[in-house]
Amino acid sequence: MSLSAQNTMPRTSGETVNRSFPESARADWVDIPPLRRQALQIIGSVLRADSAADHDVKTRLRGHIATHSANPQRALLEHLLETMRINNAQSAP
């Protein structure tokens, strides 16, 4: 599943919702619970970053989104945990 900045829906105040999540996750932006909304905002921010160095990060995040498509909070949590494991492994002596 390929996600990009084109896969977002504009909402109020310039916020976006990722189209990759099911319709239930794209309901009225105001009706989305705060934690879910925050997870969607963070995911959107990461996926919109235009740094070529972030390609691996985006690829891993897209994998978690595909695995947890109905639960963006879980997708973000799994992504953060994996990123922490990778960073810890790289900094280990």
Instruction: With a cut of 50, say whether residue 47 has pLDDT above it.
Output: yes
Residues 45-74: what's their mean pLDDT? 92
Spatial contact of 56 and 84, defined as CB atoms under 8 Å apart: no
> Given this model, what pLDDT does residue 89 score?
93
**How many domains, in total, are found in the chain?**
1
Instruction: With a cut of 50, say whether residue 9 has pLDDT above it.
Output: no
Who wins on pLDDT, 16 or 70?
A: 70
DSSP string, 3-66: --GGGEEE-GGG-EEETTS-GGGGS-GGGS-HHHHHHHHHHHHHHH---GGGHHHHHHHHHHHH
Q: Which domain holds residue 10?
A: 5-91
Spatial contact of 73 and 35, defined as CB atoms under 8 Å apart: yes
pLDDT in tens, 18-35: 455 555 555 566 788 999
pLDDT band at 42; cut points 50, 70, 90 = very high
